[in-house]
A = this chain, B = another copy of it.
Amino acid sequence: MRDATLRDVALLAGVSPRTVSNVVNGYAKVTERTRQKVELAIAELGYRPNVLARNLANGRSGQIAVVVPYLDTPYFAELLQAVIPGARERGYNVLVDQTDGDPRHERDLLRRSGRAFPFDGMIFSPLGLAQEDLPDDPSLPLVVLGERVSNGVFDHVGIDDVAASRTATAHLIGLGRRRVAAIGDQPYPTGEAAQLRTRGYRRAHADAGLPVDESLVIGTPRFNRADGAGAMSRLLDRDDPPDAVFCYSDLVALGALHVALARGLRVPEDIALIGYDDIEDGRYSNPPISTISPDKVAIATTAVDRLLERINSDRPLPGVEVRAGHRLVVRHSTAGRAAPVTN
């Protein structure tokens, strides 16, 4: 069977080829009813837009870039897994780059975005850059992910990290724990994600009328398993170890859990643990770990939507601040047997 063409889709949907093209390109001027008709026809015929031909005609590459600090961090891998199909459905190929959080590489990418760059736009998750390093050119097709807040120029998509961290810490305090440690703090000016989480941790203590023992706030260079394991070792070497730990990522929590169990502690009886990110590893760990679950699908979908709107706009658009949802997921590492068993 030959591949379906744009004309086939137009015939089946009962619209003009131009309208099909508008839907495929994500232009806003199509009514919802028409869009649905066209999308049904596309699905029925298995139509795949001829991206190369389209790009030759409109001077675009049909490619967007997604830039993350580390590809081997499951949170980013899961986010990409949600971005790529969404963009592909809209006719865009996604290419991924990683920066290792190196500020030079991050700045270099930003400088090239939109010019001499084989991409129509970029979804960017910075790590090494301070707020003032982000561009102030409103014509850049740029959507920023993560913890920083939009400067009104680019679009930003993230969750409310302070509120989420406050919820995680309050969950531990609500279980009756009184020596709650935090693993993952990082210094200004970078490390904004960490600072927002520490702020939420402090607020939960204030809410409960509890003082923060500053010696229980442990800094780590990254949010990975090795950092979590090292920090947990130091905490457990103390004469007065904590009875609960809020970890700033699930990877940190998995490293900390490994050390706690290796030392013969019971989780959560002797020490309760909560992570952040809701990666798959934490659902299958033994015991499974409680976590903050950001709505990754909403983050990915919104980022792609915003970026395509910017790419397809004739004039610069004002920067938009989008907050995706998050929820507390309670598993064995804080609730013990009370937690529902996965699988």
Contacts and interface: CB of A to CB of B under 8 A. Distances in A.
Interface of A: 48, 52, 61, 63, 65, 70-74, 77-78, 80-81, 84-85, 93-98, 100, 104, 112, 116, 118, 225, 229, 233, 254-255, 257-259, 261-262, 280-281, 284-286, 341-343
Contact of A61 (B52, B94, B118, B342): B118
Given A74-B72, A81-B70, A258 B233 contact: no
Q: How many copies of this chain does one complex carry? A: 2
A68 B50 CA distance: 22
Query: Top 8 closest A-B pairs, CB basis?
Result: A118-B118, A95-B95, A72-B77, A96-B96, A72-B81, A258-B284, A286-B286, A71-B80
Nearest to A341: B262
Contact of A52 (B100, B116, B280): B116
B74 A98 contact: no
A98 B72 contact: no
7 contacts: A71-B77, A71-B80, A71-B84, A229-B284, A258-B284, A262-B343, A286-B286
Contacts of A72: 74, 77-78, 80-81, 280
Contacts of A94: 97
A70 to B, nearest CB: 7
A286 B254 CA distance: 10
B284 A286 contact: no
